[in-house]
Amino acid sequence: MKRLDGRVILLVEDEPLVALDVVRTLRDAGARVLCAGYQDAGLSSVEHPDLSGAVIDLHLSDGSGAVVCERLRERGIPFVVHTGYPRMLVSREWSNVPVITKPAQSEQIVSALVRVLH
Residue 44 lies in a domain: yes
Whole-number pLDDT of residue 43 = 95
Considering only 3-7, 13-17, 60-64, which range has the smallest mean pLDDT?
60-64
Per the structure, the count of domains in the chain is 1
pLDDT in tens, 62-107: 888 889 999 999 999 999 999 876 665 565 666 788 889 888 888 8
Residue 1 located in a structural domain: no
Q: What's 47's domain CATH number? A: 3.40.50.2300
58's CB contacts (< 8 A; 6+ apart) are 64, 65, 66, 69, 81, 83, 85, 90
Q: Tell me the residue range of the domain where 87 lies.
A: 8-117
Residue 107 lies in a domain: yes
pLDDT band, residue 117 (cuts 50/70/90):
very high
Residue 17: the pLDDT is 93
- Indicate the pTM of the whole model: 0.92
